[in-house]
Chain A
Amino acid sequence: EVQLVESGGGLVKPGGSLRLSCAASGFTFSSYSMNWVRQAPGKGLEWVSSISSSSSYIYYADSVKGRFTISRDNAKNSLYLQMNSLRAEDTAVYYCARDGEAASVDAFDIWGQGTMVTVSS
């Protein structure tokens, strides 16, 4: 079964750090670009960051640039998001999502269940 499972969310104080992980299974992880997408409570979806299959190309939303770092370990079938200098507005459910382009699906074709990040004092 193709699956993405996020972990690492929790409560953190403003200015603090958190590292999210996403474990992939059921597909050749190293062939796909991966993404983080977040959703603040009661709000819409916001793309956060993207990393290509070999980590050669990395992109960030302006709202997180300079504070968040995306990375991956293809040997461990894992995606990461290091979040520093966290702000209240970073409070959201964070989803790991596969870019299906390698399977000729130009979309986020697989999503994890999400992990909640709450930034509050």
Chain B
Amino acid sequence: SSELTQDPAVSVALGQTVRITCQGDSLRSYYASWYQQKPGQAPVLVIYGKNNRPSGIPDRFSGSSSGNTASLTITGAQAEDEADYYCNSRDSSGNHLGVFGGGTKLTVL
């Protein structure tokens, strides 16, 4: 099985830009997807594929990838962006989306 590694916590000043990263061998073959989860709520997909946002996700959220590292960037972070963020990818065989990162707690100061 594959593993994805995320920093446990990141902070950003209100209105500034923050990058959350995710590392893993599977990212050399598959794109990461990113999920936002607020306390007591289900995860919400915010980025998938090369850099795609589902309907309703603000354009301040963007994604990128290089080698074994995927990144989620929030440009102009808002107070409501404070949440846990998880990356996800297919497993090494590509059969299922079975690999999650450990999550990054984003604090907006």
- The closest CB in chain A to the CB of B44 belongs to A111
Binary interface profile of A, 55-90, with partner B (CB < 8 Å = 1, else 0)? 001010110000000000000000000000000000
A21 CB within 8 Å of chain B:
no
Check A59 against B95 for contact (C-beta < 8 Å).
yes
Q: Scan residues 27-41 of chain B and give those whose CB is less than 8 A from a CB of chain A.
A: 30-31, 33, 35, 37
B side interface size, CB within 8 A: 27
**Shortest distance between the CB of B106 and any CB in chain A (Å):** 14
- Chain B contact residues, CB within 8 Å of chain A: 1, 30-31, 33, 35, 37, 42-45, 48-49, 52, 54, 84, 86, 88, 90, 95-103
Instruction: Give 6 pairs: A residue, B residue, CB < 8 Å, sorted on A.
Output: A35-B96, A45-B43, A50-B97, A107-B97, A108-B43, A109-B54
